């Protein structure tokens, strides 16, 4: 709406909707509205905006109003009251109020959309804390042993797990020099031997040891021991099981 095309009361339409006019000015604006369709339309639109802002639930403004928003609105209204005699100043004051209202509307709508479109957090299952007793027990027949060979200084901690006609071997081996090519050998009752895996001892493995997993096609009931042997046939350590 262009206020230059109307009488001075047109510049008070915004303040009229906000309810900050004196009684004489309210009467002046209402007389103008009775004969001005564009201003009546503007009043209706402003009241609609005012109603929409009033219906925004406070929980949508979780972070509060925009910083300085209340202060800006109060200063604008005080300026409008002090300088109401100037139509140009009235228009500037109403533009300031409109900017604050528009910012509040955008903030409210943005927060509302954010709340409605954000995915709900997944449900959190609450239960007892895990404990050592809740771990699955090892299979029946699992054997564990540890030996340090006094002559070589090599040590092996061994877990032998039975399967259907074969065994799984887990071994932690320390005390063997870097560069040695070693084999895990499963020894049977009849003197049979089965290779469960091999590795090259690295410098890091020589310092901190190595953990190995292997398997051998030996009946669990026939296994008597597991040895670490190099390719030259030297036995570093044997663990009876």
pLDDT attached to residue 230: 96
Distance (Å, whole) CA 215 – CA 194: 9
* 3 state DSSP class of 223: strand
Give the containing element (helix H, strand E) for 191. Answer: none
- Which domains, from first to last, does the chain contain? 3-117 (no CATH), 139-240 (2.60.40)
* 3 state DSSP class of 226: strand
- The residues, ordered by sequence, that sit 6+ positions from 77 with a Cβ below 8 Å of its Cβ are 18, 20, 93, 97
- The residues, ordered by sequence, that sit 6+ positions from 29 with a Cβ below 8 Å of its Cβ are 9, 12, 13, 16, 21
pLDDT attached to residue 58: 47
Q: Whose structure tokens read 């499963």?
A: 186
pLDDT tens digit at each of 241 positions of the chain = 444 445 666 677 777 777 777 888 888 888 888 888 888 888 787 777 666 555 545 444 444 444 554 455 455 555 545 544 444 444 444 444 554 455 445 444 444 444 544 455 555 444 455 555 556 788 898 999 999 999 999 999 999 999 988 999 999 999 999 999 999 999 999 888 999 999 999 999 999 999 999 999 999 999 999 999 999 999 999 999 9
pLDDT attached to residue 70: 47
pTM above 0.85, yes or no: no
* Contact indicator for 227, 237 with CB cutoff of 8 Å: yes
Distance (Å, whole) CA 165 – CA 194: 13
């Amino acid at each position: 709406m262009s206020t230059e095309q109307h009488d001075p009361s047109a510049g008070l339409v915004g303040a009229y909707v906000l309810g900050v006019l004196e009684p004489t000015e309210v009467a002046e604006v209402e007389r103008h509205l009775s004969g001005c369709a564009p201003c009546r339309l503007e009043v209706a639109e402003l009241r609609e905006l005012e109603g929409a802002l009033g219906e925004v639930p406070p929980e949508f403004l979780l972070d509060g109003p925009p910083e300085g928003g209340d202060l800006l609105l109060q200063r604008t209204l005080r300026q409008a009251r002090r300088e109401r005699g100037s139509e140009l100043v009235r228009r500037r004051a109403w533009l300031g109020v409109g900017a604050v209202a528009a910012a509040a509307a955008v903030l409210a709508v943005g927060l509302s959309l954010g709340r409605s479109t954000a995915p709900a957090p997944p449900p959190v299952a609450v239960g007892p804390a895990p404990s050592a007793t809740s771990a699955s027990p090892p299979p029946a027949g699992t054997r564990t042993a540890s030996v340090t060979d006094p002559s070589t200084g090599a040590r092996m901690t061994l877990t032998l797990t039975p399967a259907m006609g074969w065994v799984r071997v887990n071994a932690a081996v320390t005390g063997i020099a870097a560069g040695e090519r070693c084999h895990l050998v499963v020894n049977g009752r009849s003197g049979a031997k089965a290779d469960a895996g091999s590795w090259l001892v690295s410098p890091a493995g020589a310092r901190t040891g190595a953990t190995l997993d292997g398997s051998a096609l030996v009946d669990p009931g026939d296994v008597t021991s597991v040895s670490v042997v190099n390719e030259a046939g030297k036995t570093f350590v044997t663990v009876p099981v």
